[in-house]
């Protein structure tokens, strides 16, 4: 099992605040990293597929960066809204693992 | 249609029962996955089907038996489960078995008594 770690485990922010959280993964044999948003009682939804070192992806107020050499990815949310409340999962794919390994997620609560 | 559907949403079964979980997608995806998730743990891969053939079996006990009758359907047959098998079972699909994003169903919450 290839360890994928996410921090913090949970986070409470006020509406309008910007926030970010981290996904750490083994840097060797990197192939791809995914970010998913998982709202309660819904299906996990893909946010970003990242493959290249230095990748920056953006979707509305949410963006992500990737550093494959040091083995981390950041997810940023600008001006958090209550509808951003969800668990954010990252999943790492290496050439040796041959499958995606998920982190435990960061649970975000945005307080109105 | 960009949805993966799973039935049932909830399932309670005894250790001697036989039941099946069903997953369906109509996006033309050729890879389908079963994951198991216990509370506060990451989803763990159980099986991968690629072009209707089993390509990955992550040492899952034989009391879990996957089946892929066609490219749109994926079943998970359950028999003689243990209480520790209680978990959320997630199905996902992707265009192919590669680095592409996976589309997940809402899961089946299973309780084994």
Query: Distance between CA B61 and CA B89 in Å, rounded?
Result: 15
Distance, CA of A47 to chain centre: 8
* pLDDT at position B59: 86
Query: Distance between CA B74 and CA B69 in Å, rounded?
Result: 7
Query: Which secondary structure element, helix H or strand E, spans residue A17, and what is its range?
Result: none
Q: Is B95 on the interface with A (CB under 8 A)?
A: no
* pLDDT at position B40: 85
* pLDDT at position B72: 95
Per-residue tokens: A19: 């926030």
Q: Is A40 on the interface with B (CB under 8 A)?
A: no
* pLDDT at position B55: 87
Query: Distance between CA A85 and CA A103 in Å, rounded?
Result: 18
Query: Distance between CA B50 and CA A57 in Å, rounded?
Result: 28
Query: Distance between CA B34 and CA B76 in Å, rounded?
Result: 8
* pLDDT at position B47: 94
Q: What is the CA radius of gyration of chain A?
A: 13
| CB atoms closer than 10 angstroms to residue A7 | 12
Choose the closest CB to A99 out of B56, B100, B106: B56
Backbone angles phi, psi at A48, to 5 degrees: -140, 145
Query: Distance between CA A94 and CA A81 in Å, rounded?
Result: 33
Q: Is A96 on the interface with B (CB under 8 A)?
A: no
Q: Which of A112, A93, A108 is nearest to A8 (CA)?
A: A108
What tens digit of pLDDT does each residue of A84-105 get?
A: 999 999 999 987 767 889 999 9
Please indicate whether, in this complex, the C-beta atoms of A43 and B105 are within 8 angstroms of each other.
Answer: yes
Task: Indicate whether A21 pLDDT > 80.
Answer: yes
Distance, CA of B14 to chain centre: 19
Please indicate whether, in this complex, the C-beta atoms of A102 and B102 are within 8 angstroms of each other.
Answer: no
**Side-chain half-sphere of A93: how many Cα atoms within 13 Å?**
19
* pLDDT at position A16: 97
Query: Distance between CA B109 and CA B39 in Å, rounded?
Result: 11
Choose the closest CB to A43 out of B40, B99, B104: B104
pLDDT in tens, chain B (113 residues): 669 999 999 999 999 999 999 999 999 999 999 999 998 899 999 999 999 999 888 889 999 999 999 999 999 999 999 999 999 999 999 998 878 899 999 999 999 99
Query: Is B109 in contact with B10 (CB distance < 8 Å)?
Result: yes
Q: Which of B61, B104, B69 is nearest to B85 (CA)?
A: B61
């Amino acid at each position: 099992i290839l360890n994928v770690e996410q921090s913090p485990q949970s986070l409470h922010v006020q509406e309008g605040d910007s926030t970010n959280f981290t996904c750490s993964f083994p840097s060797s044999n990197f192939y791809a990293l995914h970010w998913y948003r998982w709202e309660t009682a819904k299906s996990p939804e893909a946010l970003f597929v990242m493959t290249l070192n230095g990748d920056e992806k953006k979707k509305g107020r949410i963006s992500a960066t990737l550093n494959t050499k040091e083995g981390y990815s950041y997810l940023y949310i600008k001006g958090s809204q209550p509808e951003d409340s969800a668990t954010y999962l990252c999943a790492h794919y290496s050439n040796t693992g041959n499958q995606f390994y998920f982190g435990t997620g960061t649970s975000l609560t945005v307080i109105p | 249609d960009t949805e993966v559907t799973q039935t049932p949403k909830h399932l309670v079964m005894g250790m001697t029962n036989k039941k099946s979980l069903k997953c369906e997608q109509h996006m033309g995806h050729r890879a389908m996955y079963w994951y198991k998730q216990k509370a506060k743990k990451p989803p763990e891969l159980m099986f991968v089907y690629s072009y209707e053939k089993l390509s990955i079996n992550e040492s899952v006990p034989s009391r879990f038996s996957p089946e892929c009758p066609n490219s749109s359907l994926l079943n998970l047959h359950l028999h003689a489960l243990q209480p520790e098998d209680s978990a959320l079972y997630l199905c996902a699909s992707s265009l192919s078995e590669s680095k592409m994003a996976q589309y997940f169903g809402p899961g089946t919450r299973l309780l084994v008594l």
